[in-house]
Amino acid sequence: MPLSQAVEDYYLMAVESDKPLSAVDYRPSEEIESDIEIWLYAVIARYNNMDENERILFDLKFRETLDPVFSGRYLVHDVYVRFRLSDDAAMRAKG
């Protein structure tokens, strides 16, 4: 479970940070995951698998470009996660 633990650690770093964190910059060591696409997928999958009370506490943004071959598709180059514990989000998370 090293990859899942690395993803959890990344989200915990986002909680402690005051700015969006780049998943590429916080990529785990190659012993845990050598493929950047798998790492980005794991970060996105963790966000998508959060329950609504947890997901509302995070902003997830993509650095992406249009796919040059398939119109309407995007290539994701990085994912940014930011903890957003505003008063509104905190109230919705508690309720």
Q: What is the pLDDT of residue 95?
A: 52
Q: What is the pLDDT of residue 92?
A: 55
User: Tens digit of pLDDT for each residue in 52-95?
Assistant: 999 999 999 999 999 889 888 999 999 999 999 765 554 555 55
pTM of the predicted model, to two decimals?
0.82
CA dist., res. 86 & res. 43, Å (int): 22
Backbone angles phi, psi at 89, to 5 degrees: -65, -40
CA dist., res. 50 & res. 87, Å (int): 20
In this structure, the number of other CB atoms found within 10 A of the CB of residue 81 comes to 24
Q: What is the pLDDT of residue 9?
A: 96
Q: What is the pLDDT of residue 31?
A: 86
Instruction: Give, in order, the Cα–Cα distances in Å from 62 to each of 2, 8, 43, 74, 91.
Output: 24, 19, 11, 10, 26
